[in-house]
């Protein structure tokens, strides 16, 4: 396949930085570009999935929406890694907490992704392959979050194929018992693609809902929480 790809209209890899921040919402990508990047230039509008490249404290960084879920996000992740010479993707999204010690607005770093997706079905014979993030990025993010006074948790996440799903009670209890911190919808796909292409990836998430307590953030509070996460991702973004 040549570029532009079916889903990204950038005509050259040079239009996209080596590091891409990736929220699900394209309007969130636009917000990051307009709020934090100097001289942002839009490189994609196909299907409304906005992408921008600009500068943050002298570093060239891109930000692009991915849509929700593994199938949508993997299209963009694949094309960025395979055709646009992107080295690093940092996922910045929201999540629902699954552990009592995790609170609204906390940050979760995904050290691995449990999933019901079949994206790696049959690839590894009888083995269940466990995709993981780039270790150096993970350590940098955790240390920087602590330095900034952010409540941060690092551990496995549930990367589900469905948003509206009712897990059987025993399955949910098992996930909690075995340490799953939260539920989201993209990390498994991101980490699989990063491993496939030998690239770097990290999923970080702001807790916007609590599955155990039923708490849910207001739009205003979510915005402030996202800002904290966005700034952390921009700080650790490689050159």
Residue 19 tokens, joined = 């590091």
Q: Is-cis flag, bond preceding 4, omega within 30?
A: yes
Tokens of 41: 């230039």
Of 86, 74, 101, 99, which is closest to residue 185 (Cα–Cα)? 74
SS3 52: strand
Give the three-state DSSP class for 152: strand
Instruction: Show the CA angle centred on residue 208, arms to residues 203 and 214, nearest 5°.
Output: 130
DSSP secondary structure code for residue 102 in this structure: -
| In contact, 77 and 190? CB cutoff 8 Å | yes
DSSP strand E in 45-199: where? 51-56, 59-64, 88-97, 107-115, 152-159, 182-184
Q: Is 209 a catalytic residue?
A: yes
Task: Kindly compute the dihedral angle of the four CA atoms of residues 124, 135, 81, 57, in this order, to the nearest 10 degrees.
Answer: 170
> Catalytic: which of 25, 116, 161, 209?
209
Among all residues, which ones are annotated catalytic? 209
């Amino acid at each position: 396949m040549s570029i532009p790809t079916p889903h990204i209209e950038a005509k050259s890899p040079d239009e996209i930085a080596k590091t891409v921040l990736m929220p699900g919402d394209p309007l969130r990508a636009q917000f990051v570009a307009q709020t934090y990047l100097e001289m942002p230039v839009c490189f994609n509008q196909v299907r409304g999935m906005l992408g921008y490249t600009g500068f943050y404290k002298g570093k060239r960084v891109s930000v692009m929406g991915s849509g929700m879920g593994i199938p949508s996000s993997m299209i963009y992740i694949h094309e960025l890694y395979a055709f646009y010479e992107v080295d690093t993707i940092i996922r910045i999204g929201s999540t629902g907490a699954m552990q009592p010690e995790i609170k609204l607005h906390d940050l979760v770093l995904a050290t691995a992704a449990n999933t019901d997706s079949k994206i790696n079905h049959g690839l590894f014979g009888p083995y269940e392959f466990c995709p993981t993030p780039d270790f150096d990025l993970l350590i940098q993010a955790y240390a920087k979050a602590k330095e900034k006074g952010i409540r941060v948790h690092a551990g496995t996440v549930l990367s589900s194929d469905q948003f509206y799903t009712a897990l059987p009670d025993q399955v949910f209890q098992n996930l909690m018992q075995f340490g799953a911190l939260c539920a989201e919808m993209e990390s498994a796909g991101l980490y699989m693609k990063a491993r496939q292409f030998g690239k770097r990836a990290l999923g970080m998430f702001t807790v916007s809902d609590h599955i155990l307590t039923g708490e849910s953030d207001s739009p205003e509070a979510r915005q402030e929480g996202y800002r904290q996460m966005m700034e952390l991702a921009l700080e650790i973004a490689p050159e």
